[in-house]
Structures are given as structure tokens and as C-alpha cells.
A and B are shown apart, each in its own frame.
Chain A
Amino acid sequence: MKRRTVLKSSAAALAVPMVGASRAQSPTTVRWWYHFDNPQASPASLIAKFEGENPGIKVQAESIPWGGGNDYYTRLYAALVAGNAPDCAMVKLGNQSRLLQMKALAPLDDLLAGWAARRDISENLWKMHRAPDGRNYYVPLQYVVLYLYYRADLFAAAGVQPPRTFDDFLKAAQAVQKGGVSAFGMRGGGGGHDHWGSFVLGAGANFEPGGMVSARALEANRWFVELGTKHKLFPISAPTDGFRQIVDNFKAGRTAMTIHHIGSANEMVQALGDKVSAVPVPVGADGKGWTSFGDESNAVFAASKVKEAAFKWVAFLSTGEHNVAFNAFTGQLTVTDSGASKWNLHPKRFVDATAASTALMGTLPNSTKTADFTRTVWPQQMQRALLGQTTPDAMMQAFERHFHG
């Protein structure tokens, strides 16, 4: 028995330096989680290029099902709690607060200071991605800004211009609503908070304490809900319509306007050609408005043992031509100034509408409550309001309670 123990100990003692030597020679492996809407897209070519330029680093890319964001983040949180998280992953601002609360994120300020290409990303974007504690945990990767799609031919036939203000919107909507064409393809299912936000946050509601139940906020919400309940400007399927329905209804000519971003522009043009165009979402008479900034970044996790290598990889993805190549997979916009100057992946009018919308762009609060708000609370309350099961004011009170108790 003793001899066996001695043998085992000796074998273990011998094995330790061998493992150490093997580690010294083998490349560092960076585990990276990503999600693409298009399952055919693969980052393999970018990984090959990165590994060619960084022979000491291997990237193990793991495609994680998105599932409307829910599947992805549930897996990420569970992996973080279980201690099996990747070294870095694609993340959105809406989840930064939860990740910070878990102490899961590694601050990147020191590494960013030594990365020359950081200046190719605008200071405005860095500012939007900065955490409430003033530190940088995210490296911007891609973005979109929501704008208003409109049917140029239907507007011309009705003799109206695309709307600039909320008042214009109502007048134009009433003018283009005819027969089987609903004026506005409203998204009442998951993700529809962006539509609501353009009109209600744009008109003065906000997520500060009391911001959902102020007189301005309540009035704006009543106005928006009545577009459906009183003016009947939404399709009757609006309460449960999701992304696919609003895009398909618009492409099929059953709605004259809807709100989405440049990610769907090529699909819209393929179906409608020059009949489709875009403008920024409407604003109030005072020129103030709000549109959703759809972000995607990479973060390096605090538990990673290869933070520098992981940072090299995420920095590579956010650098010039690599970032453009990455966005060719996702259909979104590059975060780099150099990439934007040569952008040719979308028709110019949609790039222009996006650029013109940046003045209005905002994000939902960096709160642990936000993800549940967008996934469950907002759709339930909005649907009930559209169906007359709750009042617009009660809907806003529910939002206020969700965030502030």
C-alpha cells in the first residue's frame, strides 16, 4: 500500500513539470462566445487571420443560441456562476448592470490605453459604453440606430411627406391608411419597446423615479396607445407582432410605415426597390426625440486567466477592416470611423437615415431590471393596453413600479 502511494506521488511529481513544460509550449486558448442571426455566417476567416498574426493565441469560438437574448444571457449567467464562463463574449449594454453586479467584468482601461486603434472609434461611442463607475468594460463591436421606414410610393400617392414631428406622424398616418394598408406596423411583441420608446420616451417619459408617471409621460403614452385603440392605425395583429411580422407586413405592402434599423434594409430593398426609404423617427415640436441605439460589444471576464490574449482578440474584431468584415456577417454598422468612410454594404439612403438618427439615439437604463422589462413586462402591459384590458396610465404605473418599486 505504501509502495503504491509512493509510486503515485512520484508519478504526480514527475507529471507536474511535464505539464508545466507542455503549457509553456502550447498556445494560449481564448474562449469566445458569439451569436449571429444568420447561422450560415462563420467568423472562421477572421479567426484564421488573427491566429496568423498572433501565433501564440488560439481562439475557440463558440456559437451560442440567441433565443431573443434570453437563451444567450441565461447560459452566460449560469456559466459565470458555475465558474465555466468563456474568457470573452459578445454582450449588450442592457446587460452590463447585471454583469457588473455579478462582478463578472474585467476593467479594460489599462489595456485600452495601449491600443492605438481605440481612436478609430468615436468618443461618443466610448462614452455610451462606459459603465456608471466611469470605467470601460466593453469594447464596441457593432451598432444600429432605429429609424422610420416608409413607403415612398404610398406617401407620394397620398400627397404627404415623411413625418418629422409627432403631429406630422398622425396626419401622415391618417392620410396613408387606406383599405388593406395599415399606417404603422407596430411591434407589440418582444422588442417592441423600441417603437414605444420613440414616441413616449421621445415625448418626455424617462426611467428616473417618477419619470413614467409625470404628466408629460402619461400624456405621451395615452397619445401613443390611442394611435391603435382610437385611430386604428396599427394592424389588428399588432399586439403580438414581432420582428418577422412587421418586416413581412411592410414588404407585402400591408403597412406604410414601421420602425427598424439598417439590418433589415437590404431585405426591404430586395422586396420593394425604390419604393422604400427611411427617415429619423418623429420628434416633438421642441425638436426633442428618442430612438433606440442598438449596441453590441465584446467584454473580457474577470475570471479569465488569459485577459490580455482575450483583449487582443476583441480589439482585433473592433479594428478597421476586421470590424467591417465582422459586420458583413451581422448586417449591422461598423464602429470604426475608417470603416464607415468606405461603407458599401447598404444603400446610401439608409446609411444617411442612420447617421441623421444618431442625434436622437439613447439607451434604456443600465439597470438589472431592464432585461426583464423588455422581455416580459413591456410586452404584457402594452398588449393589455392595446386590447383595452388596462389603461395607458395603469401601464405606465406598472413600469414605474417595475423599476422603482
Chain B
Amino acid sequence: MRSRPVEPLLFLLPALLVTAAVILYPALQTVWLGLHSFVLFDPDSMRFVGLGNFSAIVADELFWISLSNSVIWVVCAVGLQFALGLVTALLLNQTFAGRSLARALVVVPWALPSVIIGLMWTWMYDLNLGVFNDLLMRVGLIDAPVAWLAQPGTALAAVILALVWQGFPFFAVMILAGLQTIPSEHYEAAAMDGASRWQTLRFVTLPALREVIATALLLRTIWVANSLDVILVMTGGGPGYETHTLPLYAFLKAYSAMEFGYASALSLVLTLLLLGAVAFYVRRVARQALA
């Protein structure tokens, strides 16, 4: 009986140690803090509270408001990013003059830092100086400037639109890469069968892209659910609680109230909610690897 070779493990060890240091240790510390009452400016009074933070979360009205906003935020932002990304990828897959330039330019929003995007869109929405109000008034769609980020009916939608602009290139690039792997024979066969453009998209293109789309949707859902930078810059969660999402709530509890124990518990709840998506994703990857 041959002994198992140890070399692969030795080569993996540095990466595993780094992963343990930068991911496993902080994750375990978050769990540990979530079981404590810990205020950063009062470290001496740290005490174990068990599941006390979690029962407080269940009774916390702001948690439920934040969770509700998070669901809207993820569904709308990811859904619209996907739709826009798909259309963009289909267009960029056509042959036209300047296609290479268009493919390069479409990645720009994805490459910009979130803070820059937040600031840029804040000024685009500005009541007095914003380009949106100027254009909409010029074409006669509105009579007076709208305070997009200061009104309950428009604030969340306005921030979602900014995130859609930032995130759609991810879908566009992923789907474009997928489109180029579809054999041309499939389209030729569809054409010979007399398929319309819509039928070709419905029965040839989308099924062939299923794996790519599923992976992109899962990854983006996790990222968007965790993201708070654009919201923080544009509205800080306001007006009131209108754009207050779960990661933002955890962030404010940690860095404004300095309640690291409660904030850790909020983060763990968010993690548990996302765990379903993560498990689904891992299962898919494992299945693909075994196929």
C-alpha cells in the first residue's frame, strides 16, 4: 500500500495559511464577537451574551426594514444588471464598425471605484445642478427639478440605477464570452428550420448560456447583497430609512455606534441568508467539475 504523497499539501500550505489568516480567523472572530456585547470604545466591559444579540435583532424594527430594502435592492439591481448586460452582450456580438472600441468602453463603469460612481451619480441627480433634471426638463417630462435622492418614492430606485450602471458590464463580458463558445452550426440549423430571431434567442442562445448566466447571477447576487459603498456615498441610508440595507445597518452599528458585537451578529445573519446562495453555487461548481 502506497502512502499518500505530502508534496501537494506542502505546496498548498502557504495559500491555506494565508486564507486562514485573512478569511478564517476574521470569520471566526466575527462569530465570537456576535456572541458578545462589545463596544469598541469600552473594551473592558466586553461580556458574553450568548444568542442575546440575535434575539435583539429579531425584535429590531430597523433590521426588518433593512432586510426588506435589501431584498428589493438585490432583486432589482441584479435583475436589471442582467437584462442590460444580456442586451449589451448580444449587441457586442454583432459585427459592426468600432466593435473593439465599444467592447473596451463598456467595461469602464465596472473599472471605476464605487466611491467615484457614488459621487458622480449624486451630482447627476442633484436638484439644481444635476444633468437628469436638466435633460428631463428640456424634453418636457418634468416641470420642476426633482430631488431624486431626497424623496421616499425615488431614492432607492435612484441608487439602484447607479448600481445597475456599475454592474451591467460584468454580465455583458461574461455573456459575451459565453456567446463566443456557441458553435455557429447551431444557428445555421435554427435558420434552416426557419426559426425567427426571438426563437433563435429563446431556443438556441439562452440554453447554451445557461451555465454562464447561472454562475454570473449567483456571484453578482452575493456581491450586490454585500455591497454598501454606493449607498453610503449617495444617501448614507436615507432619507430616513429609505435606502437602509442590511450590510449598511451592520456597518453603521459598527462604525458609528461602535457596537461591534451587535454589528457582528447582523453580519452573521446576512451571511446565513447568503449561505443558501453560496451552497447552491458550490454545488454547481462541484457538479461541473465532476461532469
Binding site for B on A (CB under 8 A): 70, 74, 77-78, 81, 98-99, 101-102, 188-190, 235-241, 245, 248-249, 252, 254, 368, 371-372, 375-376, 379-380, 383-384, 386-387, 389-390
Contact = CB atoms under 8 A, between A and B. Distances in A.
A102 B42 contact: yes
Interface stretch (B126-134, B162-170, B199-207): B126-134
A355 B75 CA distance: 54
B256 A240 contact: no
Which secondary structure dominates chain B's binding surface?
loop
23 contacts: A74-B40, A74-B255, A74-B258, A77-B40, A78-B40, A98-B258, A189-B236, A235-B127, A236-B150, A237-B126, A237-B150, A240-B239, A245-B126, A249-B128, A368-B41, A368-B42, A372-B256, A372-B257, A380-B237, A380-B240, A383-B238, A383-B239, A383-B240
Nearest to B123: A244
A65 to B, nearest CB: 11
A365 to B, nearest CB: 15
Nearest to A67: B255
Contact of B149 (A78, A240, A254, A376): A240
Contacts of A387: 151-152, 239-240
A371 B28 CA distance: 29
B252 interface: yes
A380 B41 contact: no
B129 A371 contact: no
Contact of B41 (A98, A188, A190, A384): A98
B126 to A, nearest CB: 7
Contacts of B42: 101-102, 368
Contact of A240 (B40, B150, B257): B150
10 A-B pairs closest in CB distance = A384-B240, A237-B127, A98-B41, A237-B147, A383-B239, A239-B239, A375-B256, A239-B150, A236-B147, A372-B257
A248 B239 contact: no
B257 A376 contact: yes
A74 B258 CA distance: 8
Interface residues of B, number: 26
Given A248-B129, A379-B238, A101 B41 contact: yes
Nearest to B234: A240
B150 A70 contact: no
B238 A380 contact: yes
B267 interface: no
Contacts of B236: 189-190, 240, 379
B248 to A, nearest CB: 10
Given A74-B255, A372-B257, A239 B41 contact: no
Contacts of A78: 40
Contacts of A252: 128-129
B255 A389 contact: no
B258 A77 contact: yes
Nearest to B235: A240
Interface in B183-225: none
Contact of A236 (B127, B129, B152, B240): B127
Contact of A389 (B152, B235, B237): B152
Contacts of A254: 128
Nearest to A236: B147
B125 to A, nearest CB: 9
Contacts of B257: 372, 376
Contacts of B235: 240
Nearest to B244: A380
B241 interface: yes
B150 A241 contact: yes
B149 A237 contact: yes
B241 A380 contact: yes
A380 B152 CA distance: 13
Given A74-B255, A190-B236, 14 more contacts: A70-B255, A74-B258, A238-B150, A239-B147, A239-B150, A241-B150, A368-B41, A372-B256, A376-B252, A379-B236, A383-B238, A383-B240, A387-B151, A390-B240
Chain B CB within 10 A, most for which of A254, A375, A376, A384: A376
B43 interface: yes
A98 B43 CA distance: 11
A217 to B, nearest CB: 21
Contacts of B241: 380, 384
A325 B179 CA distance: 63
Contacts of A237: 126-128, 147, 149-150
A368 B127 CA distance: 36
Nearest to A235: B127
A241 B130 CA distance: 14
Interface in B36-70: 40-43
Contacts of A188: 150, 238-239
B129 A240 contact: no
A252 B236 CA distance: 25
A20 B237 CA distance: 54
